[in-house]
């Protein structure tokens, strides 16, 4: 092949590649994903939104939300749903380009994927502080504000969990912009990738940390404080247990030494875990309650919620712990680690 033929071949390849890219761009469409975030108050106006992931944003600016919602959206979604989006504390949204969806199933999958991403971010808000922030119905307008004579579709779905606070309450919690950014940092560094897959609890591919996160969600989704505590205890077991002998005592020791250096603080954590297991036993075995027990359960739920949060944050923020909780150490290596931690 002569140099001229070679150069002509490159030129033809480049032309075809450029033409293909331009044709592909011609058939791209803009989509709007939007969902209301309930029981969240943000202390400052976020304008067009605080970025969460690559595309996802969260905003409380009602004027901006009104600009995003089109007359077509209003017509299809209806007055009640549109009014809710415009007046809620905040919305999560994205505006991004994709190929047109080939069918309703593809559009719904895109929508659910974005709802899962929002839910993951809300879990990071819980790592910042206790709350009952929830995500409700999600909408996908495709295409969004199209200038072409194409039909606009609205896909709607929900993966809602009714999360409550550690006291079993559903109430509005205020977050500052700095707290949102802390949650965003946790989301980007940890859950934005593949480290939190939110699969079934007994999936053999899940780490201790991921299984604990699963049961933490179950605790937050329970309105019964006794059941909350029972699920917090499962979190403790998932993270720290290797056998069932003297379970509450061994877990109390390990968690106390993992979280605290001061002896008095270690004793306090140890006693909290023991009390939590006493409540768990009563709940699981159907014991009769009392006003005194109800007060103890409320206090225990708040304490357990705080301990689980501290444990998960410590694992996230300290890479040296991740090989034990995110990796797959043998039971012997895990036992040896805690024997060394407790006895030194």
110 token code pair = 């895109």
**pTM score:** 0.85
According to DSSP, residue 152 is labeled: -
Range(s) of the domain holding residue 75: 30-157
The reported pLDDT for the residue numbered 218 is 93
Closest among 215, 212, 218 to 195, alpha carbons compared: 212
The rounded distance, in Å, linking the Cα atoms of 110 and 155 is 10
Asked if 86 contacts 69 with a C-beta cutoff of 8 angstroms, the reply is yes
Residue corresponding to tokens 């009014």: 83
Whether residue 183 is contained in a domain is answered as no
Number of separate domains in the chain: 2
Identify whether 46 is part of a domain. yes
CA distance 16 to 173: 55
Q: According to the model, what pLDDT value does residue 6 have?
A: 47
Q: Identify the H or E element spanning 90.
A: strand 90-98
Q: Is residue 199 part of a domain?
A: no
| pLDDT band at residue 344 under the 50/70/90 scheme | confident
Q: Is residue 241 part of a domain?
A: yes
* β 29-38/153-157 pair status: unpaired
Q: What is the pLDDT of residues 113-145, one digit of tens each?
A: 999 999 989 999 999 999 999 998 999 999 998
The sign of the CA dihedral 160, 157, 78, 33 is positive
Residues 218 and 123 in one domain: no
The total of other beta-carbon atoms located within 10 Å of residue 116's CB is 16
In a domain, 317, yes or no: yes
271 within domain boundaries: yes
């Amino acid at each position: 092949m002569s140099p001229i033929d070679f150069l002509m071949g490159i030129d033809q390849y480049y032309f075809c590649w450029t033409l293909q890219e331009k044709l592909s761009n011609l058939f791209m469409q803009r989509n709007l994903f939007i969902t209301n975030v309930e029981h969240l108050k943000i202390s400052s106006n976020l304008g067009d939104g605080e970025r969460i992931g690559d595309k996802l944003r969260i905003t409380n600016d009602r004027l901006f939300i009104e600009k995003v919602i089109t007359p077509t959206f209003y017509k299809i979604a209806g007055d009640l749903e549109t009014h809710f989006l415009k007046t809620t504390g905040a919305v999560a949204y994205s505006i991004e380009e994709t190929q047109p969806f080939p069918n309703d199933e593809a559009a719904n999958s895109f929508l659910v994927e974005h709802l899962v991403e929002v839910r993951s971010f809300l879990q990071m808000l819980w790592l910042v502080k206790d709350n009952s922030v929830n995500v409700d119905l999600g909408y996908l307008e495709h295409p969004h504000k199209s200038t072409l004579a194409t039909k606009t579709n609205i896909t709607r779905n929900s993966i809602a969990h009714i999360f409550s606070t550690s006291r079993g309450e559903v109430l509005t919690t205020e977050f500052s912009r700095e707290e949102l950014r802390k949650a965003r940092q946790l989301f980007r560094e940890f859950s934005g990738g593949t480290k939190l897959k939110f699969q079934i609890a007994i999936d053999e591919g899940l780490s201790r940390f991921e299984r604990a996160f699963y049961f933490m969600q179950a605790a937050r989704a329970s309105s019964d404080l006794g059941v909350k505590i029972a699920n917090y205890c499962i979190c403790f077991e998932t993270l720290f247990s290797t056998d069932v002998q003297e379970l509450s005592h061994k877990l109390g020791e390990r968690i106390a030494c993992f979280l605290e250096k001061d002896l008095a603080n270690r004793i306090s954590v140890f006693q909290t875990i023991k009390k939590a297991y006493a409540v768990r036993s009563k709940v699981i075995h159907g014991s009769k309650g009392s006003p005194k027990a109800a007060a103890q359960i409320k206090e225990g739920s708040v304490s357990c919620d705080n301990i689980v949060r501290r444990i998960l944050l410590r694992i996230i923020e300290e890479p040296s712990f991740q090989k034990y909780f995110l990796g797959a150490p043998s039971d012997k290596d895990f036992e040896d680690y805690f024997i060394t931690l407790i006895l030194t």
